Each structure stands twice: as C-alpha cells, then as structure tokens.
C-alpha cells in the first residue's frame, strides 16, 4: 500500500488536474497552429498587382485572377 500524508494527497489532487489542463491547452494550440499553417498555403499574393486570392489547385505557379500573371507559391526570395 502507498503511504501518503494528507498534504501529499491534496498536492496530488491539485497538481494532476492542472498538468492535464496544461497538456490539453498545449495540444489544442499546436493543432490550431497546424491548421492555420495549412490554410496559409492556399492563400497567394500576386507579386504584380498585390491581389490576395485563394487557390486550392496543385499548380506550382497559379494565375492571378486580376492581372493574369503566374505567381509562385510561398514567400518571394527576391532581394529587391
């Protein structure tokens, strides 16, 4: 049998739920970040006219609906 004093029992009864709530909060925030990152992959900003549009196709360079220019996915790596 496990010998616990009253203080240790109360400490365990308080700390275990707090740790569980902390873990749940951490997991839910990580899932939320992952869903935002996945949604951000489909939002493209035209490098010519600045129009933001959503494209769910798998094309490497989708066309802008405003100006018709092909835009690459992801951040621009140009220096200028």
Same domain? For 2 and 19 the reply is yes
Write down the pTM of the prediction: 0.59
Reply yes or no on whether the pLDDT at 76 is more than 70.
no
**pLDDT at 57 (0 to 100):** 85
61 located within any domain: yes
- Indicate whether 1 and 24 sit together in one domain: yes
Closest CA to 65 of 53, 75, 76: 53
Is the pLDDT at 22 greater than 70? The verdict is: yes
Are 36 and 1 contained in the same domain? yes
Percent of the residues in the chain that have a pLDDT greater than 90, as a whole number: 40
Considering the domain architecture, whether residues 47 and 69 belong to the same structural domain is answered as yes
Residue 55 is part of which domain span? 43-75
- Indicate if 2 and 27 belong to the same structural domain: yes
Nearest-angstrom CA–CA distance, 25 and 37: 18
- Number of structural domains (the chain) is 2
Q: Is 65 or 26 the better-scoring residue by pLDDT?
A: 26
Do 60 and 31 fall into the same domain? no
In-domain check, residue 80: no
* Residue range 28-67, pLDDT digits in tens: 999 999 999 888 888 888 888 888 898 888 888 889 999 9
Residue 71 pLDDT grade (very low, low, confident, very high; cuts 50, 70, 90): confident
């Amino acid at each position: 049998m496990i010998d616990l004093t009253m203080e240790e029992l109360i400490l365990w009864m308080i700390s275990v739920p707090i740790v569980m709530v902390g873990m749940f909060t951490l997991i839910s925030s990580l899932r939320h970040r992952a869903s935002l990152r996945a949604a951000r992959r489909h939002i493209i900003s035209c490098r010519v006219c600045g129009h933001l549009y959503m494209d769910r196709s798998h094309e490497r360079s989708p066309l802008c609906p405003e100006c018709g220019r092909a835009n690459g996915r992801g951040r621009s790596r140009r220096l200028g």
